Amino acid sequence: MAIIKVAGVKESDGQVFPTIPASQYPVRCANVEQRVSGPTSKHPGSPYLNLTLKVTGDSEHKGVTLWFMINLPNDEMEESEVQRAVASMRHAMDAFQLPVDSEDIDTQDFIGAEALAIVQEKTEDGIKKNNVRDLLPLKE
């Protein structure tokens, strides 16, 4: 094995993604990826959109990364789940103030769009995490 030098590792708290206090934060969508759910999910292999959000504005939390997932309708879902997935997509599009003029959605339209993220703090297995509970349109 090789010995490597990593400056600052001794002083680091090891927290890769810092958490921020529960509150409302303006965010900009930095990236969108279509993914599939893992083997332990309710519907393994189901598609969803993973939105990477960056906190904007002039707070001390500017630049913090958050994520928001939108389930996509699929054949494995019950009708009520399909309706919820469609409503969630519409809600996200409204929050980012994106036009809804057809059933064909260009996910790239999310990139650069802004919204207000309702952020919660939670602890899972002793690790503090943030959860984007909801998205709302930014007030002008």
Where do the domains of the chain lie? 26-136
Question: Residues for the chain: how many in total?
Answer: 140
List the chain pLDDT tens, one digit each, 140 residues. 788 888 887 777 666 678 999 999 999 999 999 999 999 988 889 999 999 999 999 989 999 999 999 999 998 899 999 999 999 999 999 999 999 999 999 999 999 999 999 999 998 888 889 999 999 999 86
- Around 51, how many Cα atoms within 13 Å sit in the side-chain half-sphere? 29
User: What's the whole-model pTM score?
Assistant: 0.86
Radius of gyration in angstroms for the set of CA atoms belonging to the chain, rounded to a whole number: 18
pLDDT of res. 14: 67
pLDDT of res. 11: 79
Specify burial of residue 16 (Cβ count, 10 A radius: 0-12, 13-18, 19+): exposed
